[in-house]
Structure 1
């Protein structure tokens, strides 16, 4: 079972995959041997996803991709979630399993869903951000992910497309005024050295999917399929715990490195209202339905 991913061997993703490897090999008594390929050794994320579809790679961990199933992008809608407990009600429950089934027509099974970093926040060098209008005119670096770009444009920011590894220098030189990322990325990339203002806006969450090739998985014995599913769920719980611990440590680290703003309930509500056109756009596009959004909000509030 070859498993690829884009992060290095020190990250939550690889550390939890090592546990998965040990558990699977032990419990299948060597019938399934797990080979891990971190740091993009098997290609870009899109290339690895395609390889899993084709069956030349058996497993892949990453965020949700529209190429796997448009519905997976629902997790990344702006301000959909207010806390991690609500998210886990979905990712660890029956609704998360239902959403995961959307990838099956592409030849993929998602056998576990977890966190791919916690909430994303916004930093910049121009002004504190406390209301949607503060975003207008800011040059914000984003990854090439449609829900991020659409959200930033809707808030009035000028989106700047810059590779992640070049973002530090872009912020330092003013090519970009700001960026959006989880706290763990802000610390690991040392963005705090070149950014003054940080708003804990909790504007977006990314899910982490464990994709496997459907035909390969279904050819395993029922016993081994059960072992892999159980190990995958345990792996994601471990992964989520690592992320939560790292996120808390990063907040403590950043407290005296940046000017941090936490939104009030009223300020948060203003952002929620401002991004409604993003929802209208994706519903009209057919990525998901209002009914599914309502079901997710209901499940998250339990």
Structure 2
């Protein structure tokens, strides 16, 4: 008997699996300290983790291209300046468990030049001062839910909200617009999100694709984008890219499309949600099997055998 195997790939424009599969140019934190302190970081040179290359101080200094940056190893990295060099992604938390939390602490007005910013389920974004933290326009801002359970959102991980004075002075900007403040107040023309709202929504735009059985060849497969986030609304659009086990890649459209797989094997269904300048991508992988039945007759007894 063959069993259904389902694999979820969390991608958010960038894939979170990159935390565990290193690429040339990745950085990870190894010591508490300032973002701009070389001793805070290690660099992946294509084969192993080493100290940052000569003349390189930190990820985003513009000397060496920074790929994916992870605040890891239970460290607390302090950010109080503008990091202008382009960074593919920044993730707070290394997803190794909930016993140790990784923290990015905003100590002064600061900027990170990345459009992929994630607070993992074991990461915390903390403001130690009433300052503004900025990201480029179009940044996808993600807050993962606790997994495994046991952490309190807003206290142990996510955006910290348990300040004695949770005011509009603690601000997150995306592009030129205020996205969120601790209490939702401030200069946003249509009002800002609170840190609690961002935590509870999972960020500004998310998709978590799923499907319903049967995963059978030549039968209808129902797909669901499951969108969320503070920026998700009726104007959000969806596009799906389907990679079959053999043959050409093809497209589907709509939030909850259907497909009829014609080949057994692994299909990858990748959905992208777009709302204004923000987009988010995730994928789900489905093993399509043959569900046909073969009839075997032995005298007056008929057996139906599921393949």
TM-score range with shorter-chain normalisation? under 0.3
Bigger strand fraction: 2
Q: Which has the higher contact order (CA 8 A, sep 6+)?
A: 1
Give the TM-score normalised by the residue count of structure 1: 0.22
Give the TM-score normalised by the residue count of structure 2: 0.22
